Every structure is written in structure tokens, then in C-alpha cells.
Amino acid sequence: MLVYDLDLPVLSELLKSWGEPAYRAKQIWQGLYQQFYNSPSQFTNLPKSLREKMANELDFACIEPAHDLDSSDGQTRKTLFKLRDGYVIETVLMRYDKRRTLCISSQAGCAMGCVFCATGQMGFKRHLSSGEIVAQVMYYARALHEQKQTVTNVVLMGMGEPFHNYENTMAAIDRLNDADGYNFGARRFTISTVGLVPAIKRFADEKRQVNLAISLHAAHDDLRLNMMPINKKYNIEEVLETCRYYVAQTGRRITFEWALINGVNDTPEEARKLAGRLKGLLCHVNAIPLNPTKGYEGRATTHERGIKFKEALEQAGIPCTIRMRRGIDIAAGCGQLAGSF
């Protein structure tokens, strides 16, 4: 039984079934999420008999670091984790001034098939459990704690489509958000989706404080369908209509992600089409030059073309940020390292 799969009520029931007093569950919970213990032997405030029971009954090591890559500038580290069944996933730590952002995975592989994405090129393997999602954060929380640093942001933009694994993704966020445990603020999470309309509506109705990002990448359906097969099921207008519903329900701004591909979707004309689509919607566009992958021939936009795209959007009243690519020298784009294994 994976310890990170257990929320506090379930852990309490388990301890009760072992004949332990109720307060032991809170001690274990705080040890896991506040002291970052990752072995029963570290829980020295517990009786030896309970530590032995935990060692026999609970799995504390569901993800095993198999390979680390560090970027040449020292600002990005990518870890390949091996799961119990042999599948692999990736987690990336990105350092930005005082921020320490984690990009975590929600699935092994991905079923969405976006042509420019290395994970999409791998195909779908399986969903991660909520505990396997949590474990990625705790691994780096522990490592940063040893350096007297903390995780500041968590983005679910690694391998997989988080809304395809909705229940486990939200359970992981709730566990990490728990005030008696890791107490990681909801507004410091960002979920990225290709635009699964029913899941966006559900997310809107739950009125969570978690940030929402939509991978759009094109302003008209023909182009987006060539890049993202999901557009056949949920076209751009359906996605944007659901985004308007989300904003109306929550009052929160949406981020649209845009991989700038040279000569494909990086022109001022495409920017103006996008601005027309987004007019009146509380939003922001995050544009980033394409991360190259072996399975896609497209190239990243140039700096000059990216600036012109941004200017065209802003002239039309849509705020836009050109994001810096991180870890290109270590294949830090999601799925690139796992794909090589």
C-alpha cells in the first residue's frame, strides 16, 4: 500500500485497524509532509513496533530516481523516475531567481497525441495514482529542504493530460494542499490541459483556486487539428466557450499556452486571429518557442518573429508573455528523456 495514496482520514482508519491511538495518524502525516520523512525508521517519535508495521505494510518508495540531468546553466534539473511496474515518468525542477518551480507528471505517456510533444509521441501507458503524483513533489521538497530552499510553484505540465486523470490529479492536489500537512497553497498550482471540455466544466463548477492553463497553439481549427488530434472532439470554439464559462463561474483568469513554431503559428496574422477569438475573455497568453523533439520536424520561432507575435497580440488588447525555454540542452521538454529510455 503506497503511503502517499492515503489521505488523513484513510490513514486514521488504517491506524485504528492496527490498534493504534488516533493521534498516531497525525504524527505520521506531519512526519511525511512537514519533516519530509521517506522511511519508517525516521519516525523516531513512534514506537518501534509501529515503525516495523509501517515498513511491512506501507510503500514509501513508489518512485525511484533512475537518472538525473542538469542543464549547463545549473538552473534546471530533470529527474527520470522508475515506477514499481517499470514504466518511467519525468519531473523537472526549474529555478527562477527566488522561485523554485516543479513541473510534474500525471500519467506515464499520454493519450492526446499532440504531434509536437515527445510524450504524445510515446503514446499512453497508464494513469499515475494520486500518491505517485504526490511523491514527485515530496522528492523535490525533501531535496530543496536540505538546501534550505522550498518549492514555490507546481505545474502539472509534465507527462500526461491531468484532466484525463482527473480524480487522481485532484486528490493529489488536495493532499498537498492540506493545512495539517504540506500546506501548499492552491493558487501555487497550475493545471495544463489540451482542452477536455467536460473536465473544464467540472473544474469550473468546483470553483477551485488552482490556476488553469489551456494548450491552444492555433487560432483556427484546421491548423489545430493538424497539431492536436483532440481538436476533432472539442474544437476551438467549444473550448473557448467552456473557458468563458470557467471565468464566469470563478472570476479567475485563464492562461493560454502557445508553442511558437517557426512559420506555422508565429505570424502577426495568426496573433490577430487569436486576439479576435479571445476578445472579452479574462486571459493571458504564455508563448514559448517550441521545444524540439525527434518526432516532429517543426522548429522553434526566432526571437524576432516571437516579438512580432507578442506585439500583434498586445496591440489587439491581449496580454502576452514570451517565456524562456529551459533545459533545452538536457531535453527538458516533457517526455524527451523518458522517450529515450
Give the catalytic positions in this structure: 90, 334
User: What's the rounded Cα separation, in Å, for the pair 107 and 35?
Assistant: 27
Distance of CA 296 to the CA centre of its chain: 22
Q: Are 338 and 293 in contact (CB under 8 A)?
A: no
User: What's the rounded Cα separation, in Å, for the pair 64 and 262?
Assistant: 38
User: What's the rounded Cα separation, in Å, for the pair 337 and 71?
Assistant: 13
Bridge partner list, 262: none
Q: Are 104 and 154 in contact (CB under 8 A)?
A: yes
Query: Which burial class, exposed, middle or buried, applies to 215 when counting CB atoms under 10 A from its CB (0-12, 13-18, 19+)?
Result: buried
Q: Are 157 and 105 in contact (CB under 8 A)?
A: no
Instruction: Say whether 52 sits in a helix, a strand or coil.
Output: helix
User: What's the rounded Cα separation, in Å, for the pair 117 and 131?
Assistant: 25
Q: Which three cell numbers stand for residue 126?
A: 497508464
Strand 189-193 versus strand 320-322 pairing type: unpaired
Could you tell me where the DSSP H helices lie in 71-191?
118-122, 130-146, 166-177
Q: What share of the chain is helix, strand, coil (3-state, %, to 5)?
A: 45, 20, 35
Strand stretches in the chain, DSSP E: 63-70, 76-83, 88-96, 99-103, 107-109, 124-127, 153-156, 189-193, 211-215, 254-260, 283-289, 320-322
